[in-house]
Amino acid sequence: MRASLLQIGVDPDEPAESRRARAAALVREQSGSDLVVLPELWTVGAFSFDAFAAGAEPLDGPTARAMSEAAREARVWLHAGSVVERAPGEGEGGADALYNTALVFSPGGELVRTYRKIHRFGFDRGEATLMSAGDEPVTVPLPDTTLGLATCYDLRFPELFRALTDAGARTLVVCAGWPARRAAHWSLLARARAVENQAYVLACGTAGTHADVPQAGRSVIVDPWGETLAEAEDAGERVVTAELDPAYVEKVRADFPVLRDRVLR
Ligand SMILES: O=C(O)CCC(=O)C(=O)O
């Protein structure tokens, strides 16, 4: 099973429409892969807080339409990263709410699952104040594996990944817009989540700099033994591809059955 991570650049001078077209073209180029992954909030930029409201869209908005078509044309499962989702009437007093929502499309172009980011980043500012939080861990059954979905800051919360593992996830997908200044945490936590859950981790970040926040890039694919199969060497625009063996997850779990030895639940 071939997986490709699209570490696309988010340049605030590039209109979202142009980035959508570039992302769609990149997805189409991955025809032959089974699973393609885009990063977090790549249409607006994860740190471009001022652009969140204007860039918000419904679940059948322009990004979803473009990604549905690209998935269908490439015949791939597509984790299209996340969008700023506008949810009419779900906010306080019947106002619209905004969510950081990941979208997963089937090779037929159907939107099969959405995941609203549970852990919002920023402490008392940015996403943490502008967005509403999701409350539901989401898994996605594919023909050869089950995905468990997480977004950026979620990577710091092992209990979410354990809940996804308990729900049957074998491939943990993290879309992100992770800052360069904490790049070491990104790489370390991606491997830790793979080792502790004995699962593949596909962690896809953005390239470039937006809102004066240089991005870490370093998108990475880690196997269930914690070995790095492929990694972007920097924060340039890159495609990171590796072959996953779904049976290897079962082998690692059978040969070294730590998940069986859990005491606290
Ligand atoms: O946890 C971090 O260091 C980065 C998190 C982040 O940038 C995000 O969730 O948008």
Q: What separation in Å is there between the alpha carbon of 75 and the centre of ligand 1?
A: 31
The answer to whether residue 66 is domain-embedded is yes
Return the bridge partners of 141, or none. Answer: 146
For residue 117, give its domain range. Answer: 2-256
182 pocket-lining for ligand 1 (C-beta < 6 Å): yes
Q: Which of 57, 85, 117, 204 is catalytic?
A: 117
Confidence grade of residue 265 (pLDDT, cut at 50, 70, 90): confident
Confidence grade of residue 53 (pLDDT, cut at 50, 70, 90): very high
ipTM of the shown complex: 0.96
Q: Would the pLDDT of 221 be above 90? A: yes
The answer to whether residue 264 is domain-embedded is no
The answer to whether residue 263 is domain-embedded is no
121 pocket-lining for ligand 1 (C-beta < 6 Å): yes
Q: What separation in Å is there between the alpha carbon of 138 and the centre of ligand 1?
A: 19
The answer to whether residue 227 is domain-embedded is yes
Q: Return the ligand 1 atom nearest residue 41 CA.
A: 10
Task: Supply the pLDDT for residue 12.
Answer: 82
For β-strands 139-141 and 200-204, DSSP reports them as unpaired
Counting ligand 1 atoms within 8 A of each CB, the residue from 151, 154, 156, 178 with the most, and so the one to mutate, is: 178
Q: What separation in Å is there between the alpha carbon of 87 and the centre of ligand 1?
A: 23
Determine which helix (DSSP H) or strand (DSSP E) holds 38, and give its type and residue range: none
Q: Would the pLDDT of 185 be above 90? A: yes
Tell me the average pLDDT of the chain: 97
The sheet with strand 200-204 has its strands ordered as 139-141, 146-151, 171-175, 200-204, 220-222, 228-231
Our count of domains for the chain comes to 1
Task: Supply the pLDDT for residue 14.
Answer: 94
CATH of the domain at 59: 3.60.110.10
22 pocket-lining for ligand 1 (C-beta < 6 Å): no
Is-catalytic flag, 92?
A: no
Q: What separation in Å is there between the alpha carbon of 176 and the centre of ligand 1?
A: 7
The C-alpha atoms of residue 110 and residue 144 are separated, in whole angstroms, by 18
Average pLDDT over residues 56-61: 97
What is the CB-side half-sphere exposure of residue 71 using CA atoms within 13 A?
A: 26
Task: Supply the pLDDT for residue 220.
Answer: 98
Is-catalytic flag, 204?
A: no
The answer to whether residue 185 is domain-embedded is yes
Average pLDDT over residues 120-128: 95
Q: Would the pLDDT of 244 be above 90? A: yes
The answer to whether residue 78 is domain-embedded is yes
Task: Supply the pLDDT for residue 142.
Answer: 98
Average pLDDT over residues 46-67: 96
For the ranges 55-59, 91-95, 107-111, 157-161, the lowest mean pLDDT is seen at 91-95
Q: Would the pLDDT of 204 be above 90? A: yes
The answer to whether residue 36 is domain-embedded is yes
Task: Supply the pLDDT for residue 255.
Answer: 98
Is-catalytic flag, 117?
A: yes
